[in-house]
Each structure stands twice: as structure tokens, then as C-alpha cells.
Amino acid sequence: MTVYLRVIDKISKLLFQIYISILSSIPTEIGVRVRYIAYRPLLKNSSGFFKIDSGVSILGFENISFGKNVTIMKNSYLYAHNGGELTIGDNFTLNTNSQLGASFGKIVIGNSCAIAPNCVLRASNHNFDNLNIPFIKQGHKYGEIILEDDIWISANCVVTANTKIGKSSIIGAGAVVTKDVKSYSVMGGVPAKLIRKRK
């Protein structure tokens, strides 16, 4: 009986993936409306209308919360499966080909934030301490990423686990954020360093 239940579970998961894959491929404004209707009951919470363009991959709907006026642009990725948590505030834009990877960890984004194309926010890192074991077999360290309100992350940036970006900060193009950023900061470089204060 247990084997039978496992097979049923695998089939249902496969059918769900096919269903989501079909929905994600529908182009134009029709696709945006269809996804809003279909995805809203799957999400943990949704406060208002959201726009998800075609080609967006989502895993872990049940762990994702949207505020009002959320836009996810083409070919982006939202991951919050395996106990992860992704919370997005109001008036948010994720531009094309960017990734929010909260699986096993946590990403919290405040209000009025924007993330430009080709950015990666990942709430985990590979373990690599043991030189006798390939790093791909050492698992991950999981943490969280916090973006306070009014954050602009420019194109081609990376934000690593266990970092907090303070209110009204700007992360310059190509930067890699590995440590906390104080509010009203303009950051740039690899690793990101303070360029100037906005206030």
C-alpha cells in the first residue's frame, strides 16, 4: 500500500509540474491574467494583483507571499520549496532572468523594491570545509536575506545568504553583497563596499 501511495504522489506531482509548465508558457496579457487566476490560490498569501510574465519558473508556491502590485518579468526564477520562505512586499519588480532562491532558507523583501536583470539572491551556500570530500557532497548552509523598503539592486548583482540591506540603499551594477548594508548606502564592487551615503 505504501508503494502504491508513493506512485500516486509522484504522478500527482508530475501532473502538477506539467500544468504549471503549460500555464507559464502562455504569452501576452492573456497569459498574465490566466496565471494570476491560477496561481493566486496556490500562494501562501497574496494581497493584490500580481503580474507574472511568460517563462517564469516557480517552485514552492505554498511558501511564497506577495504584496500588492508585484511584477515578475520573463525567464525569472522563484524558489521556496523544501521548507523555504519567500515574502515580497508591495510595489516590487523582478526584472528578466533573475533568481530569488529561498529554498531551505528565507528571503524577505520590503515595499517599493526593484531588482534589475540577471541578479541572483540565494539564501544558501555550499559547504566546502572538508578537503577530503567533493564540495557537491557536503551539503549547504542555509540562512536568510532581508531587503528593507526602497531598495534598488542594479543589473548583474549577487546577494549571498545571511545579509541584510538597509532601507533606501542602492547596489551598483555587478556588485556582490556578502555583508550587511546600512540604510541609505550606495554600494559597488566585488565584494560590495560603500561608495557614498545617500543621506
Q: Reply yes or no on whether the pLDDT at 70 is more than 90.
A: yes
The residue type found at 172 is G
CATH for the 2-189 domain, from 2.170.190.11, 2.160.10.10, 3.40.50.720, 3.40.50.970: 2.160.10.10
User: Measured in whole angstroms, how far is the alpha carbon of residue 109 from the centre of its chain?
Assistant: 9
Q: What percent of the chain has pLDDT over 70?
A: 99
Nearest-Å Rg of the Cα atoms of the chain is 18
**C-alpha distances in angstroms, 35 versus 2, 48, 118?**
34, 14, 23
Query: Comparing 21-35, 90-104, 132-146, 164-178, which segment has the lowest mean pLDDT?
Result: 132-146
Which residues have a catalytic role annotated? 126
Question: For the segment 172-195, what is each residue's pLDDT rounded down to a tens digit?
Answer: 999 999 999 999 999 999 999 999
